[in-house]
Amino acid sequence: MFDRFSDNAKQLMSLARKAVLRHRCGALEPEHVLVAMLELPTCNASRLLAEFGLDLASLHQALETMLLPAAVEAQAPAGQVPFAPAAKRMLELGLEAASSLGHNYIGSQHLLLGMLGVSQSSAAQVLTRTGVDAARVREALAGTAPMARQDRRRLLLISNSTMHGGAYLAHCKHEIESFLGNKRRVMFVPYALHDHAGYTAKVREAFAAMGHDVVSPHEHKHAPALVDDVDAVFVGGGNTFRLLSALQHYELIPAIRNRALTGMPYLGSSAGTNVATLSIRTTNDMPIVQPQSFAALQLVPFQINPHYLDPDPKSLHMGETREERIRQFHEEHEVPVLGLREGCMLRVEGMKMELRGTTQARLFRRGEAPVEFAPPCDLSFLLEA
C-alpha cells in the first residue's frame, strides 16, 4: 500500500511516527496523523482544513495537549512504530476513498477521508466538532477526480459463465452479442484464475465465434494503458480475492473504472460481476490471497451475490445458507444486496438497469424481507441506492 503514497503522504506518516515517539504513545493512532497534517501545511489535507476556515495552530495545540496524558504511563515503542487498529482502519478507508475517486495514488486528502470514517477515533470527533465531515471533504475533492458520468455507463453483469450441461458463455451469448454490437477489440482480464494463458485462450475462442478479437493485459506486461486501446472489457470468473488483488497490484482499477464510467462497455461474470460493485464483501469465495482493500470498481452503488443459492429444505447440511450470510452482512452494512441466481444477469445503460435471463433475482435490504424479481424487469431504482 505505502508504495502508492504520494510524497506528501509519505512525509505525513513520518511526522506521525515522530509524534508517537514525542508523546511516548504505544502505537500510532489517527490523532498522530492529524497532528502531522497540521505540521505539514503544504499537504492537500492541511490546505483543505484551512479552506474550511479551521484555525490550524489552535487545533494543533489542542491535539498536542490531548495526547499528553498518554505520555504519563506509556512508553515509547522500541524499533518500528506499530499501528493501532483505528489507524489500520483509517488506512484501509483511505485506500477505498482514493479508488472511489478514481485516483491511482494515496494522498493526504484520502487519509483525511479515511480518518473521518473512523468515527470512534478522537481525531474524527475533533474534526466533526469543527464542522468537517466526510461528505464535505468528498465534495471538495470531487473536482479533482477524472470526469465520469454515470449516465454513460454500459454494463452487462452476469451471474455465471457456464450453465449446467451447456458450453462456456452459451446461455448469455446472444446478450453479449447484443450488448457489444460492433465493438470488436475486447480486453479480457484473466486474473481470477492462476492459468492466465489457458483462460485467455478459452475466452478468445468463445469471443471469436461472436466476431470479437480478444487481448489480455498479461500479454502486454499487465500495462493499464491497454485499457485505452480496446473497445470493451470483459472480466471473467474465478476467485474474487485473487482477481481484486491483481487489479490493485497492476493499477488497473482506475483505468477500467474511468473508461467504464465514460461509455466503454464492461462485461463481468461471477467474480467479474463481484468487482463491478462497491466491494467484494458479498462474494462466496475463499480469501486465498489478501487484497490491499475490499473496495472494488464501484460501477454500481449496491452489492451483488452471484451464483445465489436458495436454501434446500431436503438438505442435511447444517452450515450457513447464502441468505444467512447476507443477513450477517446487513448487521454491519446498509447497502442493498442483489442475489443473482445462475442464469440471470443485469444490463445497465446509464441510469437504467434491467434484469435479464431465465431465472429470478432476490433482493435483500437491511431490516426488510427479501423480495423476488423475475426477468425481464426494471431494477433502475437500485442505481439510486
Q: Which residues are designated catalytic?
A: 270, 285, 307
Task: Supply the Cα-derived Rg of the chain in whole angstroms.
Answer: 23
b/e per residue, 254-275, with b = 16+ CB within 10 A?
A: bbbbbbbbeebbbbbbbbbbbb
* C-alpha distances out from residue 172 to 181, 204, 278, 291, 358, Å: 14, 16, 24, 30, 10
Residue whose grid cell is 423476488: 372
CB 280 within 8 A of CB 244: yes
CA 355 from chain center: how many Å? 23
Cell numbers at residue 296, please?
A: 472494488
CB 281 within 8 A of CB 303: yes
* C-alpha distances out from residue 193 to 158, 251, 327, 328, Å: 17, 18, 29, 28
d(Cα 68, Cα 283) in Å, to the nearest integer?
44
CB 375 within 8 A of CB 353: no
Residue whose grid cell is 506521525: 16
**SS3 of residue 103 by DSSP:** coil
First to last CA, the chain: 30
Ramachandran class of 278: left when φ > 0, alpha when ψ lies in -120 to 50, beta otherwise: alpha
CB 362 within 8 A of CB 337: no
Residue whose grid cell is 515509547: 76
Cell numbers at residue 34, please?
A: 492529524
Cell numbers at residue 220, please?
A: 502486454
d(Cα 86, Cα 95) in Å, to the nearest integer?
14
d(Cα 20, Cα 301) in Å, to the nearest integer?
38
Q: Where are the beta strands (DSSP E) in 125-184?
A: 154-158
